[in-house]
Structure 1
Amino acid sequence: MASILKKDLPEGKRALDQWKATALQAADGKVSGGNAGNNAGGHADDAASPDALPRRVWAMAVRYSLFLMEHKAPGEGVEVRVAPWGAIKILDGPASDPHNLTPPDVIELEPDVWLNLVCGLTTWAEEKAAGHITAVGERDDLSDLLPLV
């Protein structure tokens, strides 16, 4: 299952690089006191926040990072869903049930959580403890595969 078209790979790489640079800049601003009291949460009205990036940048960053994960851990045993921009199947294991096409292990994440993990800005354990990851099945921990960049 392709998460990104081959012709879009360069744009996807640029988008992921842009997202990561913006997220690091926003994190640095929080650490050094930037926007303290006004917008310390890095919301959409903060120009240095990834939330302020265009929707296409988010979509391409997610799709490209899913492509990277597909190539790092090929297989059909775990479905990783990052709605609304993509879903992939990775890791060896039992394939999809022929009746519903969903593998026994499913992981769902919001785009910001996924990209934070991909870029190494947070860890699987942190995001799981915060309740930001929905994972069902025996292989519900991708911490050995992350970060990707």
Structure 2
Amino acid sequence: MAKTRIRALDGEAAIAATTAEGATASRDATATATRYLLQCLADAAQGNTVEVRVPPFGAVQCIEGPGHTRGTPPNVVEMDAATWLDLAMGRLSWADGVAAARIHASGQRADLTGYVPVERP
């Protein structure tokens, strides 16, 4: 069964709400914006080499290259939702997020440089 996709209209509305409201945005708006931007990343960088995790809202596998089939993937990027929204929207660079320890990346290919900010339809 295929995952339900977030419509662009709903995703963009959630992004607008989280941008306008910042830290006071509703959990639903934050969750939808986070999942929508993860969905856009997976669409733009198809593959299964890197797993991007934004707990508790979602995770996607992306970027072409050698994949994995079982257990924890060798290339993992993890961050909180506020960091992901900043990164995906271009308000935070990859290098600055890693340097500030807002982004935790492990593995040789765990680097989203060139994939963020996320392209949206």
Once the two structures are superposed, the pairs formed by residues 119-134 of structure 1 within 5 Å of their partners are: 119-134=89-104
What is the count of residue pairs matched by the alignment?
117
- Percent identity over paired residues: 35
Matched, 1:15 2:19: no
Q: Contact 1:15 / 1:61 at 8 angstroms: preserved in 2?
A: yes
Deviation at 1:92, TM superposition (A): 1.5
Deviation at 1:94, TM superposition (A): 2.1
Provide the C-alpha distance between the structure 2 equivalents of 1:19 and 1:53, rounded to a whole number of angstroms. Answer: 5
Q: Contact 1:79 / 1:105 at 8 angstroms: preserved in 2?
A: yes
> Which one of the candidate residues 58, 74, 77 is aligned to 1:86?
58
Once the two structures are superposed, the pairs formed by residues 106-145 of structure 1 within 5 Å of their partners are: 106-145=76-115
> Which one of the candidate residues 23, 34, 38 is aligned to 1:62?
34
Matched, 1:148 2:101: no
For structure 2, the residue ranges without an aligned partner over 5 or more in a row are none
Q: CA offsets, 1:73-123, max 9 Å, x none?
A: 00011000000000000011222243x1x3210110110000001111111
Pick which of 70-79 and 134-143 moved more: 134-143
Q: Contact 1:77 / 1:93 at 8 angstroms: preserved in 2?
A: yes
Q: RMSD of the TM alignment (CA)?
A: 1.6
For structure 1, the residue ranges without an aligned partner over 5 or more in a row are 23-48
TM-score by length of 1: 0.72
Structure 1 segments of 4 or more deviating over 3 A? none
Matched, 1:71 2:43: yes
Q: CA offsets, 1:29-74, max 9 Å, x none?
A: xxxxxxxxxxxxxxxxxxxx41111100000000000010011100
Deviation at 1:14, TM superposition (A): 1.1
Structure whose alpha-carbon radius of gyration is higher: 1
TM-score by length of 2: 0.88
